[in-house]
């Protein structure tokens, strides 16, 4: 494993067995993956494809039947490695009677972060996920989206080097989804490596550098999104301000020049962009308010010898 | 839609859900095992070994049945309200009262099914315990080891059936054991009729056990009513407080004036002594069917009151 | 936001540091740069404290603790008024101390066990544990954190129960205007100087052998073991005209002026002890010691207690008294009076001043808290490997086994153990009893009610066993299970 690699999976296999040790499901079979430092890697696949099982093996919650996992240079069960990881599960699994402030304080203590520093990070994260106003209400009373924001904040409390996000945008409204996607891009620019799973392919396309597609536990495809989606035998031009007659004339010329059929259409906004345009008309500031907690970008000096 | 038609599927699902909990088979198994082991561990022979086995069996029926009844109510009502399953059912055209009634039927069904195994086991234990025998040249205490072996054999056989069915057809181990335990104990009780000739099976314990079952029906309805509002722990605490007060009510409030708060308490609390007739049998008595019918009618009336209360409590609570 | 993004990235900086040789590939985070997490001793404790505080807070924010407080308040405040005493201060003391404290302790035992059984299992069941175990916290830290929270809650409950009982007792003493002798006390208990139980067993064996009274079909080892087991409960049968003497050497010398109490419990029926009379001769066997005679006529009581002023026992004015002898003479008429029975190892003792009642109360609270701590440890380890109902069921069954094992051990005799079923039952109960004997050897509430000072050795044994050894063993087991067990929900 090189210093440039944060996750290395070799020939990973997970078989669930029954009481008599007979195999019931092969959840993951011969999986090989590498995630590089600073990249956003998407793990895609239909339900039951083995995404969550892979993530749980990466986190040391499940044990592989065979194969190797190297996480930041060590085994997933290594306590020191856990200090460098942030994890957002698919369901938030938060303590319902704790407030967001208490939740973040609790997880900060598990990282051994001194209380003053924990307090500072907590306040910044609460501002970042827009929960300052609800910081002292029990999480059990929150909507799914609000609980998701608390989950995201707890995943960042230790300023992780590697962030593992299981369905990060599930339960969020379009504004929340956009904010989380912006956050992921920002963190990635900051050098944080991110492994994420999603059913929402559009979201994955927006944020991921590379993706792997799993089906029935087997890796079907892997690579850069641009490479995977590129159609090498087609070219698209986009011209602003052409009227219908001029467009028809241009198409006729292109068809006679190339001898091929030319497809003509009028680009439309995606529903997400349109929704955000409409909703953000009166609340521009709100959409742009979502900013990175400053502590996530603080440079730390190496200790003196 | 007709409520009676909806009642059965909900009750059946509750019953099936309840017996899938490992604790259901554990409770039934341990209770039957304790009952069958009483004749084995009788340290002293003082002429009342049969009574000891019968009393132990009935005590187990009351105690384990109570835990089973309250636990099932807590899980199937409070648990389903918390997990949202109740909201999914109430979202269909099912009245809340039908829901509470069906939950009680399902929960009590589990207790009744366990009670059959327990009654069979206590009949075996009572008969197999050392009895004074004077037959031919022999005069002395005789323990029916065949009876004990049949009972314990049935117990072990149910485990083996559970393991085999799980291995062969992937059936739920606990469910298979729970069901086969009842069948095996009934079969063992029938077989002891063949193996033991010198002592007749004492069926006087059956009405006594049915009285305990009636008391369990009351507690099951109380627990179901409480579980519409309280969590399992609080339901347990409340029901055990009622049990203690119900058993000691006579001693605590027996002398209370009718129109006082103590008098009111003594009237409201179910007098459980009426359902505990071990001593009557021990002194050679027999529980009349008329008494049994009256006690059952009282128990069912109390159940109806508690279920109405439960339906009312449930109809006024938010789900979600 | 965009400006922030252009700032030097933290992990880029980290990466450079690593390339400069500060952080070896795969090296720990803390090796090269100030980490997001720390691993020092302070951080270690901070993790345990955080887990503890969370569990404590969770308990306080649920209605369970409130319900428990109401139940305990009912027991402490209402029970003494529901139970009718015999009208004597001793009776009132028994109700307030024995009944109230025993019932509260029983409730706390069950609640502690069941609460402990839910701590891990409920978190695993709800998958909440997933978020915790992916943090740099070890299973042992998790286990200890939760255990400490339970012990802290129990300490709070015990404090409230004992505080309530003590306040009630003070109020009753104040209202009843109890005399000094009637007030609860704390006294050192000194039992007679006797050969060890093994020595006694050997002596009895030799005597039986000489008289050819040895039981048939039992080996010498079996007989000796049986005799040693039964030795603490052996009776002295004192017939009319007979004299019995016992010697005492209190561990702490009695100061001049201190009261010396003699206590002899009897195990004789009312009708047979009615015509008994006797006299006690208590002497100090030190140099210059005197003898004090006390005649006693009423032997229908279960226990006979009388006090002697230590100044009557010595000629020296200020010398401490170290050795005593008690002689009992049955002076009843041979024709109408019968023998009396007393278990000389347990029932005959000298009681001398030993600290305050309040200190004894505190010792009792500490011992009870120790038992609760051990139960919490057992429940936690069960909850690490079983689901909540199964763990609670198993825990309760084990608790019952612990409770009855001692009784089974005491009442069975070798003859009864010939039966194979009985032998298995005895074998199980004997080993369970041996395994847990040190956790519950003392009866602190009985000692409190009898005004006996709870010994330092008992307290020490509880502190070491129940607060340290047992929790450490259970923690080891629990942490081992948590480390090996797959904690994610789809692991089945």
Tens digit of each residue's pLDDT (9 = 90 or more) over B183-200: 999 999 999 888 766 677
Q: Which helix (H) or strand (E) holds B220?
A: helix B205-227
Phi/psi zone of residue A48: left (φ > 0), alpha (ψ -120 to 50 degrees), beta?
left
> For C384-437, how does the pLDDT look when each residue is reduced to its tens digit (9 = 90+)?
999 888 899 899 988 888 887 777 766 666 666 666 767 777 777 777 777 777
Of chain B, the end-to-end C-alpha distance in Å amounts to 24
Please list every residue in chain B whose beta carbon sits closer than 8 Å to the beta carbon of residue A19: 166, 173
- B27 touches C at CB < 8 Å: yes
Q: Which residue has the tokens 């480390």?
A: C483
Please list every residue in chain C whose beta carbon sits closer than 8 Å to the beta carbon of residue A37: 11, 15
pLDDT at A305 over 70: no
Q: What is the pLDDT of residue C432?
A: 77
Q: What is the pLDDT of residue C17?
A: 32
> For C218-251, how does the pLDDT look when each residue is reduced to its tens digit (9 = 90+)?
788 888 888 887 888 888 888 888 999 999 999 8
- Give how far Cα B250 sits from Cα of A226, B253, B266, C289, Å: 83, 6, 8, 59
Spatial distance between the Cα atoms of B241 and C67, rounded to a whole number of angstroms: 12
Closest approach of C402 to chain B, Cα-based (Å): 16
Spatial contact of B76 and B14, defined as CB atoms under 8 Å apart: yes
**Lowest-confidence range among B248-252, C172-176, C324-328, C430-434?**
B248-252
Strand, coil or helix: B134: strand
What average pLDDT score do residues C463-483 get? 94
Q: What percent of chain C has pLDDT over 90?
A: 34
> For A58-115, how does the pLDDT look when each residue is reduced to its tens digit (9 = 90+)?
999 999 999 999 999 899 989 889 999 999 998 888 998 899 999 999 999 999 888 8
DSSP, res C440 = S
> For C19-57, how does the pLDDT look when each residue is reduced to its tens digit (9 = 90+)?
333 333 333 333 333 345 566 667 788 899 999 999 998
> For B98-138, how does the pLDDT look when each residue is reduced to its tens digit (9 = 90+)?
999 999 999 999 999 999 999 999 999 998 887 777 777 77
Closest by CA to C150, choosing from C107, C104, C118, C103, is C118
pLDDT at B47 over 90: no
Q: What share of chain C is helix, strand, coil (3-state, %, to 5)?
A: 60, 10, 30
Q: What is the pLDDT of residue C14?
A: 34
Q: What is the pLDDT of residue C161?
A: 96
**Burial of B260: CB neighbours in 10 Å, binned 0-12, 13-18, 19+:** exposed
DSSP, res A67 = E
A184 to chain C: nearest residue by CA? C5
Q: What percent of chain A has pLDDT over 90?
A: 45
pLDDT band at residue C441 under the 50/70/90 scheme: low
Q: What is the pLDDT of residue C391?
A: 93
pLDDT band at residue C4 under the 50/70/90 scheme: very low
Please list every residue in chain A whose beta carbon sits closer than 8 Å to the beta carbon of residue B168: none
C208 Cβ neighbours under 8 A, 6+ residues apart:
C214, C223
Q: Which residue has the tokens 């000891």?
A: B52
> pTM of the predicted model, to two decimals?
0.82
- A290 touches C at CB < 8 Å: yes
Candidates A22, A302, A304, partner chain C, best to mutate (most C CBs within 10 A): A302
Q: Average pLDDT over chain A, rounded to whole? A: 86
Q: What is the pLDDT of residue C416?
A: 65
Q: What percent of chain B has pLDDT over 90?
A: 54
- Please tell me whether the interface predicted TM-score (ipTM) of this complex is above 0.90: no
Spatial distance between the Cα atoms of B7 and B10, rounded to a whole number of angstroms: 6
Q: What is the pLDDT of residue A31?
A: 95
Closest approach of B288 to chain C, Cα-based (Å): 36
What average pLDDT score do residues B40-59 get? 79
Spatial distance between the Cα atoms of A293 and C35, rounded to a whole number of angstroms: 17
Please list every residue in chain A whose beta carbon sits closer than 8 Å to the beta carbon of residue B167: 20
Considering only the top CATH level, what class is A5-230? alpha beta
Subunits that touch chain A (at least 3 Cβ pairs < 8 angstroms)?
A: B, C
What average pLDDT score do residues B271-296 get? 85
pLDDT at B83 over 80: yes
pLDDT band at residue B49 under the 50/70/90 scheme: confident
Phi, psi of B166 (to 5 degrees): -70, -40
- Give how far Cα B30 sits from Cα of B37, B113, B152, B177, C395, Å: 10, 15, 12, 12, 14
Exposure b/e, A61-79, CB count within 10 A at least 16 = b = bbbbbebebbbbbbebebb
Q: Average pLDDT over chain C, rounded to whole? A: 82
| Most confident among B149-163, C58-72, C171-185 (mean pLDDT) | B149-163
> For C175-214, how does the pLDDT look when each residue is reduced to its tens digit (9 = 90+)?
888 887 788 889 999 999 988 888 988 988 898 889 888 8
Interchain proximity A154–C131, CB inside 8 Å: yes
Interchain proximity A37–C11, CB inside 8 Å: yes
C436 Cβ neighbours under 8 A, 6+ residues apart:
C402, C405
CB pairs under 8 A between B and C: 34
Q: What is the pLDDT of residue C298?
A: 83
- Taking residue B141's Cβ as centre, other Cβ atoms within 10 Å add up to 14
Closest by CA to C466, choosing from C364, C361, C376, C363, is C376
**DSSP letter for each residue of B93-131:** S--HHHHHHHHHHHHHHHHHHHHHHHHHHHHHHHHHS-E
Closest by CA to A50, choosing from C230, C376, C490, is C490
Strand, coil or helix: A269: coil
Q: Of how many residues is chain B composed?
A: 320
- A106 touches C at CB < 8 Å: yes
Candidates A51, A110, A152, partner chain C, best to mutate (most C CBs within 10 A): A110
pLDDT band at residue A271 under the 50/70/90 scheme: confident
Please list every residue in chain A whose beta carbon sits closer than 8 Å to the beta carbon of residue C133: 60-61
Q: What is the pLDDT of residue C236?
A: 83
Phi, psi of A26 (to 5 degrees): -95, 100
Q: Which helix (H) or strand (E) holds B27?
A: helix B22-37
Q: Is the dihedral of CA C124, C128, C134, C136 positive or negative?
A: negative
Q: Which residue has the tokens 């907590």?
A: A122
Characterize the bridge pairing of strands B138-142 and C303-309: unpaired
> For A140-179, how does the pLDDT look when each residue is reduced to its tens digit (9 = 90+)?
889 888 898 899 999 999 999 999 999 888 878 888 888 8
Q: Which CATH architecture has domain C232-353?
A: Sandwich (2.60)
Q: What is the pLDDT of residue C152?
A: 96
Q: Average pLDDT over chain B, rounded to whole? A: 87
Phi, psi of C250 (to 5 degrees): -55, 145
A143 to chain B: nearest residue by CA? B320
- Give how far Cα C162 sits from Cα of C89, C92, C154, C155, C460, Å: 19, 16, 12, 10, 21
pLDDT at B313 over 80: yes
pLDDT band at residue A302 under the 50/70/90 scheme: very low
Q: What percent of chain C has pLDDT over 70?
A: 86
- C387 touches B at CB < 8 Å: yes
Q: What is the pLDDT of residue A276?
A: 72
Spatial contact of C277 and C296, defined as CB atoms under 8 Å apart: yes
Higher pLDDT, C267 or B306: B306
């Amino acid at each position: 494993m090189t210093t440039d690699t944060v996750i290395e999976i070799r020939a990973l296999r997970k078989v669930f067995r029954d009481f008599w040790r007979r195999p019931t499901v092969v959840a993951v079979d011969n999986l090989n993956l590498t995630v590089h430092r600073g990249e956003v890697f998407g793990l895609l696949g239909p339900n039951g494809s083995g995404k969550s099982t892979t993530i749980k093996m990466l986190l040391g919650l499940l044990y592989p039947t065979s194969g190797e996992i190297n996480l930041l240079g060590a085994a997933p069960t290594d306590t020191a490695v856990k200090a460098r990881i942030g994890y957002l599960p698919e369901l938030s699994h938060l303590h319902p009677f704790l407030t967001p402030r208490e939740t973040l304080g609790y997880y900060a203590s598990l990282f051994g972060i001194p209380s003053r520093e924990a307090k500072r990070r907590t306040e910044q994260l609460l501002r970042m996920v827009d929960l300052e106003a609800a910081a002292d209400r029990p999480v059990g009373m929150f909507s799914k989206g609000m609980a998701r924001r608390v989950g995201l904040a707890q995943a960042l409390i230790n300023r992780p080097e590697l962030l593992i996000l299981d369905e990060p945008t599930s339960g969020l409204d379009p504004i929340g989804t956009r904010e989380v996607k912006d956050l992921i891009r920002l963190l990635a620019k900051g050098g944080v490596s991110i492994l994420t799973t999603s059913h929402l392919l559009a979201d994955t396309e927006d944020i991921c550098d590379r993706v792997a597609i799993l089906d029935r536990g087997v890796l079907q495809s892997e690579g850069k999104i641009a490479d995977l989606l590129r159609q090498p035998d087609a070219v698209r031009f986009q011209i602003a301000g052409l009227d219908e007659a001029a467009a028809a004339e241009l198409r006729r010329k292109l068809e006679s020049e190339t001898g091929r059929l030319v497809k003509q259409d009028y680009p439309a906004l995606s529903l997400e962009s349109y929704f955000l345009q409409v909703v953000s008309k009166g609340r521009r500031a709100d959409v742009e308010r979502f900013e990175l907690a400053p502590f996530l970008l603080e440079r730390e000096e190496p200790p003196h010898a | 839609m007709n409520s009676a038609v909806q009642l059965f599927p909900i009750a059946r699902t509750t019953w099936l859900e309840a017996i899938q909990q490992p604790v259901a088979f554990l409770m039934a198994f341990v209770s039957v095992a304790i009952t069958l082991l009483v004749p084995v561990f009788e340290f002293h022979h003082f002429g009342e070994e049969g009574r000891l086995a019968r009393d132990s069996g009935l005590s187990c029926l009351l105690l384990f049945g109570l835990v089973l009844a309250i636990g099932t109510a807590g899980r199937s009502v409070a648990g389903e309200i918390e997990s949202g399953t109740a909201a999914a059912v109430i979202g269909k055209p099912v009245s809340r009262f039908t829901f509470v009634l069906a939950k009680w039927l399902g929960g009590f069904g589990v207790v009744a099914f366990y009670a059959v195994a327990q009654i069979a086991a206590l009949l075996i234990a009572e008969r197999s315990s050392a009895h004074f025998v004077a037959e031919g040249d022999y005069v002395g205490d005789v323990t029916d080891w065949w009876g004990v072996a049949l009972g314990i054999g049935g117990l072990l056989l149910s485990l083996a059936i559970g393991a085999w069915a799980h291995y062969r057809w992937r059936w739920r181990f606990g469910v298979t054991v729970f069901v086969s335990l009842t069948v095996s104990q009934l079969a063992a009780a029938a077989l002891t009729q063949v193996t033991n000739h010198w002592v007749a099976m004492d069926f006087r314990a059956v009405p006594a056990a049915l009285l305990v079952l009636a008391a369990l029906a009351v507690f099951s309805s109380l627990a179901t009513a409480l579980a519409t509002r309280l969590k399992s722990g609080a339901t347990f605490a409340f029901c055990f407080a009622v049990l203690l007060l119900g058993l000691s009510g006579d001693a605590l409030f027996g002398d209370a004036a009718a129109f006082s708060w103590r008098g009111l308490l003594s009237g409201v609390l179910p007098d459980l002594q009426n359902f505990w007739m071990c001593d009557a049998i021990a002194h050679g008595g027999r529980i009349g069917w008329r008494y049994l019918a009256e006690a059952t009618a009282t128990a069912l009336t109390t159940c109806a009151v508690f279920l109405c209360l439960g339906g009312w409590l449930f109809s006024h609570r938010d789900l979600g | 936001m965009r400006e922030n993004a252009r700032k030097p990235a933290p992990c880029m900086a980290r990466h450079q540091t690593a390339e400069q040789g500060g952080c070896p590939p795969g090296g720990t985070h803390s090796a090269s740069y100030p980490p997001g997490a720390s691993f020092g001793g302070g951080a270690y404790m901070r993790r345990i404290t955080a887990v503890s505080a969370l569990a404590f807070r969770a308990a306080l924010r649920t209605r369970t603790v409130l319900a428990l407080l109401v139940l305990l308040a009912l027991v402490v405040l209402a029970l003494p008024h529901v139970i009718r005493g015999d009208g004597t201060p001793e009776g009132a003391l028994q109700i307030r101390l024995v009944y109230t404290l025993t019932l509260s302790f029983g409730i706390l035992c069950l609640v502690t066990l069941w609460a402990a059984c839910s701590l891990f299992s409920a978190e695993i069941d709800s998958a909440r544990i997933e978020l915790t175990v992916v943090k740099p916290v070890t299973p042992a830290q998790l286990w200890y954190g939760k255990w400490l929270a339970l012990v802290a809650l129990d300490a709070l409950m015990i404090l409230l129960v004992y505080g309530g009982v003590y306040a009630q007792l003070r109020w009753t003493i104040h209202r009843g205007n109890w005399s000094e002798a009637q007030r609860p006390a704390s006294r050192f208990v000194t039992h007679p100087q006797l050969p060890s139980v093994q020595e006694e067993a050997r002596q009895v064996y030799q005597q039986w052998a000489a008289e050819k009274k040895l039981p048939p079909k039992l080996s010498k080892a079996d007989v000796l073991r049986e005799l040693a087991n039964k030795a603490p409960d052996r009776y002295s049968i004192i017939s009319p005209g007979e004299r019995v003497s016992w010697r005492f050497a209190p561990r702490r010398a009695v100061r001049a002026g201190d009261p010396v109490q003699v206590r002899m419990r009897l195990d004789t029926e009312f009708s047979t002890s009615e015509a008994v009379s006797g006299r006690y001769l208590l002497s100090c066997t030190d140099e210059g010691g005197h003898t004090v005679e006390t005649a006693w006529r009423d032997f229908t009581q279960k226990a006979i207690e009388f006090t002697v002023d230590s100044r009557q026992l010595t000629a020296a004015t200020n010398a401490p008294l170290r050795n005593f002898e008690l002689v009992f003479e049955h002076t009843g008429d041979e024709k109408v009076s019968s023998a009396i029975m007393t278990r000389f190892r347990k029932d005959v003792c000298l009681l001398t001043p030993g600290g305050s009642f309040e200190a004894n109360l505190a010792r009792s609270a500490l011992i009870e808290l120790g038992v609760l701590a051990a139960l919490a440890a057992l429940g936690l380890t069960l909850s690490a490997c079983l689901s909540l109902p199964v763990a609670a069921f198993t825990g309760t069954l084990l608790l019952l086994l612990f409770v009855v094992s001692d009784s089974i051990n005491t009442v069975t005799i070798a003859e009864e153990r010939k039966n194979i079923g009985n032998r298995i039952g005895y074998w199980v109960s004997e080993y369970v009893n041996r395994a847990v004997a040190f956790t519950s050897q003392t009866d602190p509430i009985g000692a409190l009610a009898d005004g006996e000072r709870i010994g330092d050795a008992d307290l020490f044994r509880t502190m070491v066993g129940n607060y340290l050894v047992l929790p450490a063993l259970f923690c080891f087991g629990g942490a081992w299970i948590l480390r090996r067990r797959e904690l994610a929900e789809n692991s089945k």
